[in-house]
């Protein structure tokens, strides 16, 4: 994991148990809304696939 600060603006910082989480907007810099939507769709598809696999494992 890189310890360097990402390019972009810090949007939010919060603690998750003993872990400090920093959210940056760097994923949106120099990207069109179409590119961003495509990335979000890929993430959604991956999450659905993962949970479908979990359901299959519990059924077996």
Question: What are 38-53's pLDDT values in tens digits?
Answer: 999 999 999 999 989 8
Cβ neighbours, 10 Å, residue 8:
13
- Per-residue model confidence (pLDDT) at position 1: 54
Query: Which sequence spans correspond to the domains of the chain?
Result: 10-59
For residues 15-44, one letter each, b for 16 or more C-beta atoms within 10 angstroms of the residue's C-beta and e for the rest, the string is eeeeeeeeeeeeeeeeeeeeeeeeeeeeee
- Look at residue 5 in the predicted model and tell me its pLDDT: 61
Taking the CA atoms of 30, 24, 47 and 3 in sequence, report the sign of the dihedral they define. Answer: positive
Give me the pLDDT at residue 7, please: 78
Q: Is 0.85 topped by the overall pTM?
A: no
Query: Could you tell me where the DSSP H helices lie in the chain?
Result: 33-59
In this prediction, residue 59 carries a pLDDT of 81
Paired tokens of 52: 């479908």
Mean pLDDT within 31-40 = 93
The answer, yes or no, to whether residue 14 has pLDDT greater than 90, is yes
């Amino acid at each position: 994991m890189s310890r360097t600060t990402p390019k972009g603006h810090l949007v939010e910082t919060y603690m998750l148990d003993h872990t400090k989480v920093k959210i940056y907007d760097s994923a949106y810099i120099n990207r069109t809304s179409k590119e961003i939507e495509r990335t979000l769709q890929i993430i959604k598809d991956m999450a659905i696939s993962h949970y479908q696999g979990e359901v299959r494992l519990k059924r077996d």
